[in-house]
Structure 1
Amino acid sequence: MAKRKQIGRRVEGWKAKNWFKVYSPEVFDKVYLGDTIANEPEKVYGRVMQTTLGEMTQDYSKQNVKMRFKVTEVAGDAAYTDFAGHEVTKDYLRAMIKRRASRIDSIVLATTSDGKKIRVTATCFTINRADASQQHAIRKEITNYILKKAKEQTYYQFVKDMVMGEISRDIFKSIKLIHPTRRVEVIKSKVIEAKTVVAQ
């Protein structure tokens, strides 16, 4: 008998919860990302939804890009998000690595024109092996470009150009003058949120 009462309470608790439809930011056309459930709207804030860029854009050549969005606003049964970061799949990266070639990673902490901080990992895949001086020059070029681009653009302009490949294509044009290059990819990003200072 006690067991039945416990099951009944679970059912009642489930019915008390509400479903919220989650959408991407306006810069990504407020695409429907999925549903999340909670017994009150306040508990939806901060939840992270994950999808692929291919599913969002209906361009399945971009299925290798995983996107993360964090809920920042709730209105009625709709939840709206902000971009939290992205990452290229490990399978895609493994396919890009070739023998007798170099993979050169650059991690850059950039600040956009409106003061948002984002950590960006960009990778250069060369056609043949680059020596130490060439690798140093490539990292410097990538770092300088990303810092300059972020400073010139708003947060959402920068994020869109980054995930849609515009930044990678521009970096490639300058890197190939330093060393024969097969591809440049921004393989990962993470938004760095400002820490809240608690008054003493």
Structure 2
Amino acid sequence: MARKVQKKLDKWKSKSWYSIEAPDFIGKNNIGTTLAEQPEQLIGRIVEVTVGDLTNDFSKHNTKLKFRIKDINGNIAQTRFIGHEITTDYLRSIVKRQTSRIDTNLKVTTKDGYTLRVKPICFTVKRARTSQIEGIRQVMDNTVKERANELNFEQFVEEAIMGKLSATIYRNAKNIYPLRRVEIRKTEVEGMPAA
């Protein structure tokens, strides 16, 4: 005798769509939509979007921004910035033979108390000597720390994403050895001020 088949519940019918909104200082744009059964399930989710998608500028598609959903208002999920990263395919495209790649990894605190991990990267025109590499790395460290002390969190993030910080590093370090490219490879928010 055949068994009675139970009717299967469709989980999609119980879920709702929520639109995801970028923080105010990035433009409060709609950066996507997501699906959830309960609004509480969205809190803590990480969303990635490119700068090119936010600004409609195709030349900036190599920079990914990361946001974490922090709050739900109706069917709008509000986010906060947690970091950015340059895509690996773009990084591989700017690496060349017979050149020096100079990386550094810094922990900085902005004027308003946010703690960030900043990872600048620099490429020279030809291969540099160790003393020149150390000098460029020192300039990179000093420039990033100075800018972090002068700017608040939102201004610092904007400079790191839009290339102003890397342009400042380039101007300060090009006297030591000719540079081909300077980028802020990655930023991560490690701590927020106690409210």
Same fold per superposition (TM over 0.5): yes
Indicate whether 1:145 and 2:162 are aligned.
Answer: no
- AA partner of residue 83 (structure 2): G
Q: For residues 74-114 of structure 1, what are the alpha-carbon distances to aligned partners after superposition, in whole Å with 9 as ceiling and x for unaligned?
A: 10000111111111111111111112110000111111111
TM-score (norm. length: structure 1):
0.90
Give the CA deviation at 1:2.
Answer: 5.9
CA, structure 1 residues 2+14, in 2 after alignment: closer, same or farther (shift >3 Å)? farther
CA–CA distance in 2 between the matches of 1:56 and 1:137?
Answer: 36
TM-score (norm. length: structure 2):
0.93
Give the equivalent residue in structure 1 for 2:101.
Answer: 103
Give the equivalent residue in structure 1 for 2:52.
Answer: 54
Give the CA deviation at 1:16.
Answer: 2.1
Give the CA deviation at 1:188.
Answer: 0.9
Indicate whether 1:78 and 2:41 are aligned.
Answer: no
Residue 42 of structure 1, aligned match among 40, 43, 46:
40
Give the CA deviation at 1:29.
Answer: 0.6
Give the CA deviation at 1:191.
Answer: 1.1
- AA partner of residue 125 (structure 1): F
CA, structure 1 residues 2+51, in 2 after alignment: closer, same or farther (shift >3 Å)? farther
CA–CA distance in 2 between the matches of 1:161 and 1:153?
Answer: 9
SS at match of 2:182: strand
Residue 91 of structure 1, aligned match among 71, 84, 89:
89
CA–CA distance in 2 between the matches of 1:163 and 1:85?
Answer: 10
SS at match of 2:82: strand
Indicate whether 1:24 and 2:22 are aligned.
Answer: yes
User: Please, which runs of 5 or more residues in structure 1 have no aligned partner?
Assistant: none
- AA partner of residue 146 (structure 1): V
Give the equivalent residue in structure 1 for 2:123.
Answer: 125
SS at match of 1:178: coil
CA–CA distance in 2 between the matches of 1:150 and 1:192?
Answer: 14
CA–CA distance in 2 between the matches of 1:159 and 1:41?
Answer: 29
Indicate whether 1:154 and 2:137 are aligned.
Answer: no
CA, structure 1 residues 44+135, in 2 after alignment: closer, same or farther (shift >3 Å)? same
Give the CA deviation at 1:44.
Answer: 1.1
CA, structure 1 residues 2+34, in 2 after alignment: closer, same or farther (shift >3 Å)? farther
User: Please, which runs of 5 or more residues in structure 2 have no aligned partner?
Assistant: none
- The alignment covers a number of residue pairs equal to 191
Aligned-residue CA RMSD in angstroms?
1.6
CA–CA distance in 1 between the matches of 2:15 and 2:137?
Answer: 50
- Larger displacement relative to structure 2 (154-163 or 30-39): 30-39
Give the CA deviation at 1:39.
Answer: 2.0
Q: For residues 123-150 of structure 1, what are the alpha-carbon distances to aligned partners after superposition, in whole Å with 9 as ceiling and x for unaligned?
A: 1110011111111111111111111111
